[in-house]
Chain A
Amino acid sequence: MRVVLAEDLFLLRDGLVRMLSAFGFEIAAAVDSGPGLTRALAELEPDVAVVDVRLPPTHTDEGLQCALAARKARPGLPVLVLSQHVEQLYARELLADGTGGIGYLLKDRVFDAEQFIDAVRRVAAGGTAMDPQVIQQLLSRRAADDRPLAGLTPRELEVLELMAQGRSNAGIAAQLVVTERAIAKHTSNIFTKLGLEVSDDDNRRVLAVLAYLDRDR
């Protein structure tokens, strides 16, 4: 799988290159600025892009803007955005086009190499990987002022959280150390309680959950 990497800090870029190569990714390009990223995405057509939000020359949200622009030019281009901090605002912008293939994670998530690589693979396959922090913010907000969510059991809330991060039933089962059947039961309960249609597609699941959480805003 070919990856384009954009990160301006040398140490982190180097580390990411090593980690991705170790897990069998091919690094098509590792760039350190917004214009470099835009060029690489247009010319190299990678399978997935791993992008830092803050990039030179502006050192603001250049990386995010480049990623959004590239996805406009090539809908569904898988992009995993990394950031020193995560904001719902950015998560919404990334998910807005509804085509999937989006990830938005804190930089610290690379500490757990396997989970991080799993997220990259998920995004490359057209799924989603939302940072637990974003999801938690959403859920705690909803829990405070919404009845249907208050009707979920703690276990179902846990499952909903993992589902909103973009994990499949198998992934959730592995994380919670239960059988996939049990998760399937939880998810169908959740969908009923939240009034969402059942769907197999990972990405659609996340979008459905997020759309529900986002309702009436």
Chain B
Amino acid sequence: MNTDTKSHDVRSRARRVLLAGVQGLVLALVVLPCGVAFLVLTLVSLALIPLGIGLVTTPAILTGVRALADARRRLAAEWCGIRIPAVYRPHHEGAKPWTRTFTLLRDPQVRRDLRWLPVDFTAGFVTALLPAVLVFCPIEGFLLAAGLWRAFVPATGDAYWYLFVPVSGQGTAFLAALLGAVLLVVASRLAPRTVKAHFELTRAVLGGDAELAERVRVLTETRRDAVDTSAAELRRIERDLHDGAQARLVAMGMDLGTIESLVEHDPAQAKRLLAQARRNSAEALEELRDLVRGIHPPVLAERGLGDAVRALALRLPLPAEVSVELPGRADAPVESAAYFAVSEVLTNAVKHSGADRIWADVHHSDGRLRITVTDNGKGGAAIGAGSGLAGVERRLGTFDGVLAVSSPAGGPTLVTMEIPCALS
């Protein structure tokens, strides 16, 4: 058992090292020619801008550079799990050549791409070639010792240099194999790391402050969403008050005015109007209550998210199990966003899933509020344009929250929401 795992370890390590060698080789073979070619093309194309030709060629070449950089980003993610963010500014395909060229050249990401080219075929080339050399040199050493040296040493007295060992006979060939073995030990430690270093370098040059720029883009977007949503919400509240409670109170005032003048000579009619006024006041209250529930539900204000979700579940037309594990309360805006998100998801489940049971789980761990809603319905839910879930996603986005939906056809549907927040 123990030796088994050990040999398994050795084998997987050997595979990793060999893989690093191959990866390095591929990178080195692609890096140098492409990098040089694109840099030369770009420089020529830029030089041709005054002649007008450059205006046509530059965008095409820059697109090529971008494809090259994108390929490297993909490899970094696939081979080493290093994510290199890219934030290209959007540009219009139909724009005039002049505008296109200069929009591209003004894009910081494009400039980073160009700066990356020379770095890539110098430092990048070395860091890519090194693992390949480290892995393939020992193999050559072993092959020499196995008899290949005869092919390289045509006559006695001649020598074939294997690194710093002059191979002239079987004896020196063994020496070469020994050197190869030493190199192999070094390779097993260094090769994967060097490949990683290559991609780290790529990230340092290509990524730059892209991560920050991406963050700014996301924040701008979510802020716009938040402002839009709150403006729409205010309009809704204003309309509801104007058409609902306010109108009812006016009607009530009118009724009371009429009653005042009727009460003496037509008590029966006055009594009828009084009943109507009371109905109006009850309905105005009802409308105000609904409105308050839509702005900030009373249970949420009084008890916090856990009990608010419990109360929500009690109002559903089907049985829902709620489990809550919250050691404190989140900030009011976060609580509110989470509550309405859950409310929307539950409503969706009731309306569309065809489920006969729902489970909701609310808990907080690792600085994140995590809510899952599961139903045993028919599945098929998706976050898309027009679906209520897109609205939920926007709502959570304001707080850097995320929404994930797993809903295979045939069910069950599992909706997970996460909002980073602290409890107090």
Contact = CB atoms under 8 A, between A and B. Distances in A.
Interface of A: 53-54, 60-61, 83-85, 87-89, 108, 111, 137, 140-141, 144-145, 216-217
A54 B302 contact: yes
25 contacts: A54-B302, A60-B301, A60-B303, A61-B302, A61-B303, A84-B289, A84-B292, A85-B292, A85-B293, A87-B311, A88-B311, A89-B303, A89-B310, A89-B314, A108-B282, A108-B285, A111-B278, A111-B281, A111-B282, A141-B317, A144-B317, A145-B317, A145-B318, A145-B319, A216-B319
Contacts of A61: 302-303
B147 interface: no
In this complex, the member of A53, A61, A140, A144 whose beta carbon has the largest number of chain B beta carbons within 10 angstroms is A61
7 closest Cβ pairs, A-B complex: A61-B302, A60-B302, A88-B314, A89-B311, A144-B317, A85-B298, A87-B311
A87 B301 CA distance: 13
Given A108-B285, A111-B281, A145-B356, A89 B299 contact: yes
Given A61-B303, A141-B317, 13 more contacts: A60-B301, A61-B302, A85-B293, A87-B298, A87-B299, A88-B311, A89-B299, A89-B310, A111-B282, A137-B315, A144-B317, A145-B319, A216-B319
Interface string B306-346: 01001100111111000000000000000000000000000
Interface residues on B, range: 20 to 34
Nearest to B278: A111
Contacts of A89: 299, 303, 307, 310-311, 314
B356 to A, nearest CB: 7
Contacts of B289: 84-85
B299 to A, nearest CB: 5
A141 B301 CA distance: 25
Contacts of B299: 87, 89
Contacts of B319: 145, 216-217
Contacts of A140: 317
Nearest to B297: A85
Contacts of B303: 60-61, 89
Interface of B is mostly: helix
Nearest to B299: A87
In this complex, the member of A83, A85, A88 whose beta carbon has the largest number of chain B beta carbons within 10 angstroms is A85
A137 B313 CA distance: 12
Contacts of B316: 141
Contacts of B282: 108, 111
A137 B314 contact: yes
A183 to B, nearest CB: 26
Nearest to B310: A89
B317 to A, nearest CB: 5
Given A85-B289, A89-B307, A53 B302 contact: yes
A92 to B, nearest CB: 8
Nearest to A143: B317
B303 to A, nearest CB: 6
A84 B298 contact: yes
Contacts of B285: 108
Contacts of B302: 53-54, 60-61
B319 to A, nearest CB: 7
B43 to A, nearest CB: 69
Contacts of A83: 298
Interface string B277-289: 0100110010001
Contacts of B301: 60
A60 B301 CA distance: 7
Contacts of B281: 111
